[in-house]
Structure 1
Amino acid sequence: MAEAPPVSGSLVEQLTTEKYECMVCCELVRVTAPVWSCQSCYHVFHLNCIKKWARSPASQADGQSGWRCPACQNVSAHVPNTYTCFCGKVKNPEWSRNEIPHSCGEVCRKKQPGQDCPHSCNLLCHPGPCPPCPAFTTKTCECGRTRHTVRCGQAVSVHCSNPCENVLNCGQHHCAELCHGGQCQPCRIILNQVCYCGNTSRDVLCGTDIGKSDGFGDFGCLKICGKDLKCGNHMCSQVCHPQPCQPCPRLPHLVRYCPCGQTPLSQLLELGSSGRKTCMDPVPTCGKVCGKPLSCGSSDFIHTCEKLCHEGDCGPCSRTSVISCRCSFRTKELPCTSLKSEGMTGKGHEETFWGKDATFMCDKRCSKKRLCGRHKCNEICCVDKEHKCPLICGRKLRCGLHRCEEPCHRGNCQTCWQASFDELSCHCGASVIYPPVPCGTRPPVCTQTCARVHDCDHPVYHSCHSEEKCPPCTFLTQKWCMGKHELRSNIPCHLVDISCGLPCSAALPCGMHRCQRLCHKGECLVDEACKQPCTTPRADCGHPCMAPCHLSSPCPVTACKAKIELQCECGRRKEIMICSEASSTYQRIAAISMASKITDMQLGDSVEISKLITKKEIHQARLECDEECSALERKKQLAEAFHISDDSDPFNVRSSASKFSDSLKEDARKDLKFVSDVEKEMKALVEAVDKGKNNKKSHFFPPMNRDHRRIIHELAQVYGLESVSYDSEPKRNVVVIAVRGKSVCPTTTLTSVLEKEVQARPPPPIPHHRQSDKNPGSNNLQKIEKEAVIDYFDVQD
């Protein structure tokens, strides 16, 4: 939006004190800097700044040649190149401390643009617009009868209170309106006019068809005249005309040819034809074929009369003619004798055409849009070119109260013509719009504070308004959440239902469960029963019932679906099973064991079977150890015998490296130094969290490529760190966060694992023992030790 033009006095003060800013560079305009002033909005710019602006693409005017002023958007054709004073008379004016900056110090002499004022500005060369001319002049009123003294240059028309009395367009009457500008309205007096032939009359405004009267009539009615000619035998066949009727065309001195026009009457008189004395005598015929063109036929094939030379109209044509419908969509062939009966039915009237003008109406409906663009023409055999819409628009106007009564049209409707003669004021009555008030006018803008009654007693900060509801109160208050869990602060006053985001935890009607919904409004359960799982422990296994809540009825007998973990006696094998399946498995094993115990009882031995049927034993059901368990147990015993541990074995790399994936190892081998630096940073981060007071601590890794970021993300999982990537390429970085209790350093680093894999594994040591003849069992012991060592390394592999 363009800024308001500056006032001359304010411009002079700001330019003199060097407080005026150039709108292009936003720098202060110095008194010695070359400037340029817009002649439309009078803003002042640096000359170099306005040159750069005029050549920039942002200053180009859309669809026009030239550049736009940065302030008022006025288009100028030429780019300023010279530094002139404000009045434009002096180039490169020198600044004097006693004069206005950038002024020549002479009288302005500029004239007011667009005003009929002969005087020029008498102020010294100044910025901004010139003041209005202070001189007075005498102007004549619009009717020219009175003279009035008005301010010079004011483009106002002077009106007096006398009637205009200028001669109207009819040349007979005078204008009765009060003194007005422009041309007078046409004469409104109604006169009755008669046509030239005297058969038709009409009522028209005075001044219509001035100068066409012949003393007997004023207009032509387009009908046959029908007046009696001077011969007294025939009537005028011309169309209604102002001049006297022509002489009878059948007078002997006017007829010089036979009726067909092919033979002069002089030749027929020489051949013995009788001469004509009056207009009633018949015209001699020549005996030839008439040959006059008939009205039927077409432009390509003209039909002619086939009779012998005759008087009067030519008879009917014996040929056929091809005629088109009104819209030229269809054609049909008809005998020329029937063309008279084929009429054209138009809009409320019927016309008959002959010959080339013969036409008919087809059944095709026009599918073109009317001028309104909303409705189709839909006329049968349409010949309308404009397709004006006869319907009423009927759309609601901008006022929202009335509808458009104009014919259906394109574009927006006109402004509502209705007006109110009541005062329109704001809600508090401080601002008023006086009548007449156009329909749809909004109440005036009021700057007073809203005086309506509000729901709260907080201070009101919004102004008077015309809307029914006031804006919501935004005063910050303290309010309880819907579940009364906590008192929330900084809550706007208009907010009513506030959720703290915590679980409701209200006791449900069942007395066993609590509401699991987040802090909510209203009752926890509305017209429905609790459907949370029952937590009553089962009698057989102790797991919860987990059936839908059944307050008054006992727990249903169903199979327990809880998952339990079974493991073998050594703890190597682990398996997740459903409680009911584990129980049935144990019962089957216990039945087999009890059967064997009963067999022992039959042999006379005592058996303890209480442990096979107690709940505790059922819960302690275990899996059976397999061969791998036995091999692992032998390895463990051998490691204890030889004092071998995972940390002391330099070749036990597999157990430590199992936590590192193959892809991580593959990427780490490409840049082992980078992996070593990352692991040092992660180790320091985890130790700092464990020793420090903060539960979380983060470390920022600088931007790097995708492969290095992937290594950091995978190592973070091993160390129990949270890793997040930020920013976009090529500045994408990684931030890792250590959490106390979750982040831990592994026993073996990835760097050490890779270094151990590079080193060649030496063969395992084999212990040697001195054989003794006195101890025949030593050979067996040495054999057992060798087998144990071999089994140990087989398990390792």
Structure 2
Amino acid sequence: MEASWRQVAGGRGRARGRATAAPSPGNGVPFRGAGGGREKGSGGAVHASPGGAASTAGGCPVGPEAPQASVATELMSQQKFEEIKKANQAAAKKLIEEHFSSSSEEEGDEDFEGKQGKIVANTFVTYTTQTDGDIRELERTKQYVNEAFQAGAMTCLICIASVKRNQAVWSCSGCFCIFHMPCIQKWAKDSQFLVSSLTDDDFGKKDYPWPCPKCRFEYKRSETPSRYYCYCGKVEDPPLDPWLVPHSCGQVCEREFKPSCGHKCLLLCHPGPCPPCPKMVTTTCYCKKAKPIPRRCSTKEWSCQLPCGRKLLCGQHKCENPCHAGSCQPCPRVSRQKCVCGKKVAERSCASPLWHCDQVCGKTLPCGNHTCEQVCHVGACGECPRSGKRFCPCQKSKFSLPCTEDVPTCGDSCDKVLECGIHRCSQRCHRGPCETCRQEVEKHCRCGKHTKRMPCHKPYICETKCVKMRDCQKHQCRRKCCPGNCPPCDQNCGRTLGCRNHKCPSVCHRGSCYPCPETVDVKCNCGNAKVTVPCGRERTTRPPKCKEICSRPPTCHHTSREKHRCHFGPCPPCHQPCQKVLEKCGHLCPASCHDQALIKQTGRHQPSGPWEQPSEPAFIQTALPCPPCQVPISM
């Protein structure tokens, strides 16, 4: 047996160049395996110290300190195990959420259609009890609810990606389009920044609006979404429930109907617009002649179709139209009416009794010397415009003269400001407009880069073209002698939209283009079932399930195929009994149809390697002969 100083105890893990003392009766050290790992300066053997305690060649004690090191190692291992456990639990939770949020997984479920029908029925049950089961007014809302379950139907128009159950969303109150919360927040921030960058104000000083990417409905800066709410706005971060409409809280909507009638929506929390109000109210017709009758609140306004009978604005006739809403139409009758001055009479519409002829009034004014020069007018002609005190043409002197005399010129300088706005007229007081300013001055061009001596009345436009960028920040102004107020860019944007099918039709602009407004129908193979998706999503959207029977003609000798639903790709193999008459015995072949059996080819050329393409298919479809008759006969 080896001596104690030669015995080496093995530890867990890799122990390169490290060992611990083995237990011996004389040292009193319990046996514990040291943890693995590398340690600088450690030797390969353990020597017994004079005091009975073991020490390594590198001088590391393994006596009473060895259990403490082992405990620390176990604690670190336990801590690492807990971290890995938490990471695995988080990954499993995320996988479960993705499983429930994936609409493609739901499509594979056989009971999904029945489950969806129950969810839709529960959403509408409170409404249908008020309408005795009538769901005609629910068609638009039902379309939004069904799209919430269809694969690829709910698409964020900003990132052109599917909206899943477990993602935070925001719904526009104008068009009810749904967007990812991070996408709409970035859109709002970018829109406000672009608007503010076109002004001299700093970003954040004014409440710049931002538009919905689809309907352009404008929202204030304070209305930028910061929290994820359900459709009705009652619950923040609605829980994920497979028995509710995605992103719904399951409570009664209770939003006000539009137009407002005093009642609230009875559906469970739902996407899309609220349906018309189903409440019953008692109302009368527009003209108030018929007795009040009970009607739906959404259609409470009605017409009795009797003549209106209200007096028209002409004051002579009554409205003959059927009972109607709003004001009556103008009187359609024609009558002979005088103009306001009374000189002419004409047949005109009764609805417009006041009219003006084209003759000058011509009545004598109070001065007795002049006549009224106004065209056919209402009321008195007024005083003579030449009576009283009048100014000379330059407005410096005032004269009191009879209306029969013209005001003379005062002889002073005109001194009116000329059209240039800088110099004054140097002529004596005169009638008529002043002359054009002809003084020569040193003029700056509009852009301020050049000067030239020239007549004051002529504008100076240099030939220098502006090199500033327009508001799109892509194209230069290129206008001659631009004063700095460069016009907006008038070129077409033409950038490819996110759908990758169309180009932006807007005028050249900064920032992101608006989403493509087009929609595409993704159809099944026969075209009866379809789902409408935003342009660009048709590449990744799975075709909807079709309940119609496949109508392809059979490729075997049977007159019809086995009934199966519409599908893409080849039809499944025929499994009907062959029923061909056997030549030898005359019995019918009971075997399954074998007109198109897959047969593996033999004697094919074997390729030399994966780089060589096979010249013949491995399997071919061919008709097999009927098997021998198995019907027993008497001998």
Same structural fold, with TM-score higher than 0.5 when normalized by the shorter chain: no
Tell which structure's C-alpha radius of gyration is larger.
1
Per the normalisation by structure 1, the TM-score is 0.25
Per the normalisation by structure 2, the TM-score is 0.30
